[in-house]
Every structure is written in structure tokens, then in C-alpha cells.
């Protein structure tokens, strides 16, 4: 079993930045594809970004490309999401997820088998 714990969320003004962290425990995630998803109020959970185990491949949802950066430190068993130029529409609960089966870039929820509890990001002036 893998436990994922997100941190780093909070309140930020439009145009600001936040860095989310996802710390894994229970197993090493160095071979797992890791993803970030988010769920805005009244909306379904949506894909944000993914990174393969080695970190050599990343993929972003179109609205995040150029503003968000996903990265990982396998020595720390941790994945990050750097979010810049934040907009009010980025307000959501952000979830970290791990894929231990497909081990490729995944954008669908069912392809991930471990999930964190989420961290709230609020972008407001």
C-alpha cells in the first residue's frame, strides 16, 4: 500500500504562486507514474499534470501548460506541483495520485490506484 499526503495549499492572490508537495510512504514510488488532479466546487475532478517514474516525461492539461510544472524527487519519495500565474479559476482541491500498474503518462482517474486526501488551493484577492 502507498499512502499519499499532499501539502502546500492555501490562499493566494491572483498572479501568485504556490508549490504543492505530495509525500509518499509505504513503498517507493520511483517507478510509478504520478499525477495531479483537481476538483473545483460543483465540478468533476479533472486532470492537471502527470510525470513518469524517471521524470523523463511530463504531460499537462492545456490550461495549465506554461503555468504549472510537475517534478519529482525519488530520493525523497515526493512529487511537486509548482503553480505560477494563478487565476481564480484555479481554485480547487488538488489531489495527488499514483499509478503502480500502467507506468505511463495517464490522464484518467481510473488509471491511478492510490490517492491522497487533497489540499485546498484558493486564488482570491
Q: Please tell me the predicted confidence (pLDDT) of residue 103.
A: 80
Q: pLDDT value at position 44?
A: 96
116, 21 contact by CB (below 8 A): no
Report the chain's terminal Cα–Cα distance, integer Å: 40
Give the per-residue pLDDT at 6: 98
Helix (H, G, I), strand (E, B) or coil at 37: strand
The CA dihedral of 80, 50, 123, 4, to the nearest 10 degrees, is -50
pLDDT at residue 20, rounded to an integer:
98
- Percent share of the chain, pLDDT over 90: 94
Which residues contact residue 21 at a Cβ distance below 8 angstroms, ignoring those fewer than 6 apart? 6, 7, 8, 78, 79, 80
Number of residues written out for the chain: 125
Q: Tell me, what's the pLDDT at 102?
A: 82
Distance CA(18)–CA(50), nearest Å, equals 17
pLDDT tens digits for range 12-55: 999 999 999 999 999 999 999 999 999 999 999 999 999 999 99
Each residue's pLDDT tens digit, 62-121? 989 899 999 999 999 999 999 999 999 999 999 999 999 888 899 999 999 999 999 999
- Opening angle at CA 62, ends 66 and 72, nearest 5: 60
Amino acid at each position: 500500500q502507498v499512502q499519499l499526503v499532499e501539502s502546500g495549499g492555501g490562499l493566494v492572490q491572483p498572479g501568485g504562486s504556490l508549490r504543492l508537495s505530495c509525500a509518499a510512504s509505504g513503498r517507493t514510488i520511483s517507478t510509478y507514474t504520478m499525477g495531479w488532479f483537481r476538483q473545483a466546487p460543483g465540478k468533476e475532478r479533472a486532470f492537471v499534470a502527470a510525470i513518469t517514474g524517471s521524470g523523463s516525461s511530463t504531460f499537462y492539461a492545456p490550461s495549465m501548460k506554461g503555468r504549472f510544472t510537475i517534478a519529482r524527487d525519488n530520493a525523497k519519495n515526493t512529487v511537486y506541483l509548482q503553480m505560477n500565474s494563478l487565476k481564480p479559476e484555479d481554485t480547487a482541491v488538488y489531489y495527488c495520485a499514483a499509478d503502480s500498474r500502467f507506468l505511463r503518462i495517464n490522464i484518467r482517474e481510473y488509471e491511478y490506484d492510490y490517492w491522497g486526501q487533497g489540499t485546498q488551493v484558493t486564488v482570491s484577492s
